[in-house]
Structure 1
Amino acid sequence: MVAGCASEGELVVDLVTDLRPGVEIVSAVAEVYAGPQRGEVIGATAPRPMTADLDLVGGTRVGQLSGVPFGAHLVRVSLQDAAGEEVAEGLVVVSLDAPARAVTVRVTRDCLDVSCPGDGSPTAVACLGGACVEPTCSPETPETCPEPECAADADCPSDGCVVGRCEMGVCFARADDAQCSVGSCHPTRGCEGWSSLSVGENQACAILDGTAWCWGAQLGGVVSVPTQVEGLPSGVTQVSAGWAHACAIAEERAFCWGSGEDGELGDGAARSSRAAVEVSLSPPVAEISAGDGATCAIAGGGPFCWGQDSYGRIGNGPTLGETSEPGPLDMPAEDADLAVSVTASGDKGCVRLSDGRAYCWGHNDSSVSIGVGEIMQDVFQSPVEILATDVARLAVGGWHTCALSRAGAVSCWGDGRRGMLGDGQESNSGEPVTPIGLDDGVTALAVGTNTFELDATCAIRAGQVLCFGSGWGGRLGVGNTDNALEPVAHTSLPADAVDVGVGRAHACALLVDGSIHCWGRGNEGQLGDGTMTTSLEAVRVVAP
């Protein structure tokens, strides 16, 4: 702001641009100079977030500049990306001769590679529609602008999902998700969809065209839009988001990044890394799962785990303890050879065998969560065979565990408070029980844990997301934070779901159209929609 005095007024600065909010730009700042050229900046607005829900082609207000002396001034709007780097700028000279005046700054994508002034007028320092123009050109002073290039939307070219739109005589290129049958519309790459999803405590990760992207709580800060993971080869085939780290498989090799003080990155060094580091596992690596301070994987030699060993969460027996390099599970060799899938979560883990049997280990919360009946043993440091059979998928929480059978039925066991077992009760069970209505047809299953607020489970049946247990943060997807003793249907997803993930207080679903939608707590950007806002309804993760 500028100190007020006589013969001063206020400038109201609006922005019109076809750069996509939450993807190409995340904030805008307006500055005013002392005169009609660059020089002393006498006022600036606070950064205005450019969130994904804004229609910037239709225009939005950047801010107000008060106490601006009467006279001619250059107004500059700077647009920044998620890294804080300037992507583009817009310039307009305005003559202030009244207590208040509005000015609209236009920035078009076709000006990104244009440097002004060009070969024409040396005073044409602004760019509009890919051409250098006088900075006095604005919607408020059209007489100083070139001839309009359009009168209607039909006069502007469209390309795939990027739709031409005429605003104030200028063609803008608007990325329109509605034009995509699969995924989202990227302004330059066209329609593209997510192919995989994993949800961790306060983060989520997904795969897009063989690359890994994450959002939410990350090492060194939070990001509210998908950010590509550094250090990974192309061709990522699996990604797993844990509590404070994440892992992926590419070229049949395993990589991890994030918090590593407990050795959970698996490269032999107990240190954190923002970029992916390769795990000390010989390829081929078939599957990887990031948990809480620990990680597990299936590689050529069977199932391996590494990281923190509190409560026996890496399953390597009573004597070995914490390790920053992968070690084999302490289980019968003939069964280790049959291991096809592994899950690490909270303070326990489970491994599934090709014959439908499963082993689990770690903290036996309430004497029932491991799945071997009610046994007064707090910790299983080595894997034990559980009661569930015909297992096709395991979803492990902090307080309970669920299994999906090869016939599409769900069974759960462990702590039953807040409806965590989904059977309409709040009773514990050391033996598998079937959540109401999930006895067949289920295609996906996920559990999210919360140390103090307990677990939630979500499943997909006939494309519909059904959740039960702790409603902390609104993660059950029913528009409130109530608990549910039995599965309840999600109320705000726009299409059928193919996969689902649950975190500490949020959840996400991958839809049949290739888009990802998240709901629940968003204070650390974990909804991926460009905001830090909680939403009880599903919001779409922005395309990178």
Structure 2
Amino acid sequence: MSASCSSDPEEGGALATDSGAQVAPGVQDGASDADVVSDAGSDAALEDVAVPDASPRPVACGGTSCATALVTILGEGFCVLLQDKTVACWGDNANGQLGRGADAGVIASGVAERVLGLVDVVALDHACAIDASGDSWCWGTGPWLQTAAATTKELAPVKLPIPPAKAIRVARSSTNAGTACALVDAGVICWGTNANGQVMPPERDAGPTTAYQPTQQVLPSGSVVRDLAVGDATFAILDDGTVFSWGANPPIGRVSSLYPDPYPRPLALGGFSQIDAANENVCGVAGAAIHCWGWPKTTTTVTQPFDRALPEILVLPESVVFAATSAGESKVTNPLRGCAIGASGSLYCWGNNLSGQVGDGTKDYAITSVKIAGLPEPAAQVRTTPNATCALLTSGRVFCWGADGVGQLGGGRLKWPSAVPREVVLP
């Protein structure tokens, strides 16, 4: 996970509030919107798919202001890893997630500015960064292990007391973030609140609001974890594309009678190269196709509580190399919002568009995927919040669109929305 001008994708997640181990109703894979997805069938019927050779296009910096990675932050906002190995953020700051220090307070900003004190950063997720020595630094509101409290609000980065990390993944939601996991030499460790059984089996914990220290997760002997995603459930992607999940059910993406299910078990679908998790929504790339799952799709006439429990493939016009989804969206939307990057570098989005966050110049709900026009270069990464979208291009430039109530489009001021891509001014 280098901070050079070729960047690896970083994933994020979101906090949930379900608690207690109990038996859930039978999880069944239901029908999907024929215009958008084809049913992947039952979990047992899903077949392994080889990890595709295609991967997100690298970033080749073409100027002095260049980003090499893009992530969302708590609420509506974004951060980028810059080519000089510093981090810049913009948007919502109610929880200190812009990391500008006590003097700046918690005022939202449409100006991309550097996070205070961060240098030599090599990896980024949510409001956490890993430096070249493996130290993890986090800011804003989260499980930062600074006190016995489940979360603390840090207006500037603080160092986490965890072993040197290769990746850190923090739950993201519109209101809170209380669970985190990291990939370290010993494997996967998780800490914070245990509302969804992501830290330890619920029968061993002291309650959903208790904060827990980093705890080793039990994966099969010899497992080599390549990456993590953290939402209402945690996903460990192995080198061979196998994914182990644990946590809320849904969205663990597999059949289980436990709710939550705190025991890492593999998804039947294999061949994953990347996963993005946000609250109850998950999308990932497997076999050069995008698959999404999580909480149910609901119409005005019928609700099928578990009709999105297992991965469903979304139909796009080309092979997919990168996927993104968002948290905090109403479950009545069908399909739920997301974006994907094709092997050509073209960007596609779908779902809720009341704020122009799909990026097609309209505010019409996108039942099928829309190819985004107006991007001057191919896309390398894309990130979505409920109301905005940002894309990192192969040149290192960043473009955003959608709502701008807290400056999340990075246009230099607040409340300057756009239904088409507009460039962010990077420091």
Work out the CA distance in 2 between the residues paired with 1:253 and 1:418: 43
Within the candidate set 416, 429, 449, 2:327 is matched to 449
Tell me the residue number matched to 1:6: none
Asked whether the 8 Å contact 2:199–2:212 carries over to 1, the reply is no
Equivalent AA in structure 2 for residue 342 of structure 1: L
1:466 aligns with 2:348: yes
Report the secondary structure of 2:88's partner residue: strand
Within the candidate set 295, 300, 314, 2:180 is matched to 295
User: Which of 1 and 2 has greater Rg?
Assistant: 1
Aligned residues, how many?
334
Q: Which runs of 5+ in 1 are unaligned?
A: 1-180, 185-190, 420-425
1:504 aligns with 2:382: no
Tell me the residue number matched to 2:78: 204
Work out the CA distance in 2 between the residues paired with 1:479 and 1:380: 42
Asked whether the 8 Å contact 2:137–2:160 carries over to 1, the reply is yes
Tell me the residue number matched to 2:221: 334
Tell me the residue number matched to 1:430: 309
1:495 aligns with 2:374: no
Work out the CA distance in 2 between the residues paired with 1:308 and 1:473: 33
Asked whether the 8 Å contact 2:249–2:258 carries over to 1, the reply is yes
Higher relative contact order (CA 8 A, sep 6+): 2
Equivalent AA in structure 2 for residue 412 of structure 1: C
TM-score for the superposition, normalised by structure 2: 0.72
Q: Call closer, same or farther: CA 1:482–1:357 in 2, change over 3 Å.
A: same
Tell me the residue number matched to 1:254: 136
Q: Call closer, same or farther: CA 1:370–1:480 in 2, change over 3 Å.
A: farther
Asked whether the 8 Å contact 1:387–1:432 carries over to 2, the reply is no
Report the secondary structure of 2:196's partner residue: helix
Q: Call closer, same or farther: CA 1:483–1:275 in 2, change over 3 Å.
A: same
Tell me the residue number matched to 1:225: 111
Counting only pairs closer than 5 Å after superposition, residues 63-82 of structure 1 correspond to structure 2 as: none
Work out the CA distance in 2 between the residues paired with 1:269 and 1:524: 31
Q: Call closer, same or farther: CA 1:539–1:530 in 2, change over 3 Å.
A: same
Tell me the residue number matched to 2:361: 479
Work out the CA distance in 2 between the residues paired with 1:521 and 1:537: 11
Asked whether the 8 Å contact 1:371–1:388 carries over to 2, the reply is no
Q: Call closer, same or farther: CA 1:471–1:296 in 2, change over 3 Å.
A: farther
Greater Cα offset, 429-438 or 534-543: 429-438
Cα shift readout 1:266-290 (whole Å, capped 9, x = no counterpart): 345532211111112111x111112
Greater Cα offset, 494-503 or 466-475: 466-475
Report the secondary structure of 2:311's partner residue: strand
Work out the CA distance in 1 between the residues paired with 2:306 and 2:363: 21
Cα shift readout 1:214-240 (whole Å, capped 9, x = no counterpart): 1111212211111211232x2211111
Q: Call closer, same or farther: CA 1:388–1:222 in 2, change over 3 Å.
A: same
Asked whether the 8 Å contact 2:294–2:309 carries over to 1, the reply is yes
Report the secondary structure of 1:410's partner residue: strand
Q: Call closer, same or farther: CA 1:451–1:316 in 2, change over 3 Å.
A: farther
Tell me the residue number matched to 1:422: none
Work out the CA distance in 1 between the residues paired with 2:275 and 2:107: 31
Asked whether the 8 Å contact 1:460–1:497 carries over to 2, the reply is yes
Report the secondary structure of 1:471's partner residue: coil
Tell me the residue number matched to 2:240: 355
Equivalent AA in structure 1 for residue 289 of structure 2: A
Report the secondary structure of 2:309's partner residue: strand
Q: Call closer, same or farther: CA 1:324–1:228 in 2, change over 3 Å.
A: farther
Asked whether the 8 Å contact 1:268–1:325 carries over to 2, the reply is no
Q: Give the deviation of 1:213 after TM superposition.
A: 1.0
Tell me the residue number matched to 1:156: none
Asked whether the 8 Å contact 1:362–1:379 carries over to 2, the reply is yes
Asked whether the 8 Å contact 2:219–2:264 carries over to 1, the reply is no
Counting only pairs closer than 5 Å after superposition, residues 77-476 of structure 1 correspond to structure 2 as: 182=61, 191-200=64-73, 201-208=75-82, 209-218=84-93, 219=96, 220-232=106-118, 234-241=119-126, 246-251=127-132, 252-260=134-142, 264-270=143-149, 271-283=152-164, 285-292=165-172, 293=177, 294-312=179-197, 314-318=198-202, 319-320=204-205, 322-323=210-211, 325-329=213-217, 331-334=218-221, 337-345=223-231, 347-365=232-250, 369-373=251-255, 377-405=258-286, 407-415=287-295, 417=297, 428-437=307-316, 441-452=319-330, 455-461=336-342, 462-476=344-358
Cα shift readout 1:423-463 (whole Å, capped 9, x = no counterpart): xxx9923332221126x632211111124366421111111
Report the secondary structure of 2:144's partner residue: coil
TM-score for the superposition, normalised by structure 1: 0.57
Tell me the residue number matched to 2:14: none
Within the candidate set 415, 420, 423, 1:537 is matched to 420
**Higher fraction of strand:** 1
Q: Call closer, same or farther: CA 1:480–1:183 in 2, change over 3 Å.
A: farther
Q: Give the deviation of 1:348 after TM superposition.
A: 2.4
- Computed over aligned residues only, the root mean square deviation of the Cα atoms, in angstroms, reads 2.6
Report the secondary structure of 1:477's partner residue: coil
Cα shift readout 1:351-396 (whole Å, capped 9, x = no counterpart): 111221112222224xxx32114x5654223333222201111121
Work out the CA distance in 1 between the residues paired with 2:212 and 2:383: 27
Equivalent AA in structure 2 for residue 279 of structure 1: L
Work out the CA distance in 1 between the residues paired with 2:192 and 2:364: 35
Asked whether the 8 Å contact 1:418–1:485 carries over to 2, the reply is no
Work out the CA distance in 2 between the residues paired with 1:287 and 1:364: 24
Work out the CA distance in 1 between the residues paired with 2:229 and 2:413: 30
